[in-house]
C-alpha cells in the first residue's frame, strides 16, 4: 500500500478491538487518505501511515494490542522511520506504564513516564468530557494552520501529567509536546519523529480535528 496515482496516502487503522475504528476511517478519508481497517501485519507494515486508536482501560488496551501483535507492528514501523499516530488510550499506551485503581500495567515504553488519574475538583469533573484548547509549540506540524483558540474533544479519566523524555543528541530534533489543562496540566499531543499522538479525539473534533488529521496525512 503506497500513495495512489492521485497522490492519496494509504493509512491502516489497526483493528485490535479497542477503538472507534469507523469514526477514524471516516475522518481519515475526509482528510484525503485511502483507508483500510485491518490487523493484517503485512498491510499494516506497508501502509504509508498507521493509526492506533484506543478506548477503555489502559491494561486492557495493551493486552489487546499485544494479542494482535500490534506492539510488534508499531515497534517495527518506528524502527524503520514509518509514521504511527496514536489516539486517546492509543497514545497513553505508548508510555512506560499506566496506573489505574492502584494497579500498574506496562505500556509499550516508547516514551518514559506514567499515565495516571486526572484530578477532580469543584470545577473539574472526572471523566473529563468536553472541548478544550491546546497549547502547541509554534513549530508544530500537527497543529499547523490551526488557531490557538481551536477546540478539541476529550473524553478520558487518565493522562500523562509529565513529559520525561530528554533529547541529549544535538543532531536530533526535540519532541514537540502540546499541553492542555483540566484542573492541572497534562500532555495533549506529542510529535516525536515518526511517532505522533493525541490524547483528544481528532476524529470527533469537527473542522479543527479534520485539519489536524490532514496535517498528519500530508506528512506521510
Does the active-site annotation cover 201? yes
Q: Which of 25, 61, 88, 182 is catalytic?
A: 88
Is residue 156 part of the annotated active site? The answer reads no
Residue 74, C-alpha cell as written in the block: 508499531
158 and 98 in contact (C-beta within 8 Å)?
yes
203 is catalytic: yes
**Active-site residue identified among 128, 156, 182, 201:** 201
Exactly one of 25, 110, 191, 203 is catalytic; name it: 203
Sheet strands (E) in the chain: 9-14, 33-38, 49-52, 84-87, 95-100, 103-106, 111-117, 128-133, 151-156, 158-160, 176-182, 184-192, 195-198
> CA quadruple 119, 163, 197, 46: dihedral positive or negative?
negative
Name the grid cell of 198: 493525541
- Angle, helix 70-79 to helix 58-67, in steps of 10 degrees: 80
CB of 186 within 8 A of CB of 95?
no
Q: Enumerate the active-site residues.
A: 88, 201, 203
Amino acid at each position: 500500500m503506497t500513495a495512489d496515482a492521485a497522490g492519496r496516502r494509504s493509512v491502516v487503522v489497526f483493528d485490535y478491538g479497542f477503538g472507534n475504528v469507523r469514526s477514524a476511517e471516516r475522518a481519515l478519508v475526509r482528510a484525503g487518505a485511502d483507508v483500510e481497517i485491518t490487523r493484517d501485519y503485512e498491510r499494516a507494515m506497508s501502509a504509508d501511515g498507521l493509526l492506533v486508536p484506543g478506548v477503555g482501560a489502559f491494561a486492557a488496551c495493551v493486552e489487546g494490542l499485544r494479542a494482535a501483535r500490534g506492539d510488534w507492528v508499531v515497534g517495527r514501523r518506528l524502527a524503520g522511520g514509518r509514521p504511527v499516530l496514536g489516539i486517546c488510550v492509543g497514545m497513553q499506551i505508548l508510555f512506560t506504564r499506566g496506573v489505574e485503581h492502584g494497579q500498574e500495567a506496562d505500556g509499550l515504553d516508547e516514551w518514559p513516564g506514567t499515565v495516571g488519574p486526572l484530578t477532580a475538583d469543584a470545577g473539574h469533573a472526572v471523566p473529563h468530557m468536553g472541548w478544550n484548547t491546546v497549547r502547541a509549540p509554534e513549530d508544530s506540524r500537527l497543529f499547523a494552520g490551526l488557531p490557538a483558540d481551536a477546540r478539541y474533544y476529550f473524553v478520558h479519566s487518565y493522562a500523562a501529567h509529565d513529559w520525561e523524555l530528554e533529547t541529549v543528541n544535538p543532531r536530533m530534533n526535540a519532541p514537540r509536546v502540546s499541553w492542555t489543562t483540566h484542573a492541572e496540566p497534562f500532555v495533549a499531543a506529542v510529535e516525536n519523529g515518526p511517532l505522533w499522538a493525541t490524547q483528544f479525539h481528532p476524529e470527533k473534533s469537527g473542522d479543527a480535528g479534520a485539519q489536524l488529521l490532514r496535517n498528519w496525512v500530508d506528512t506521510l
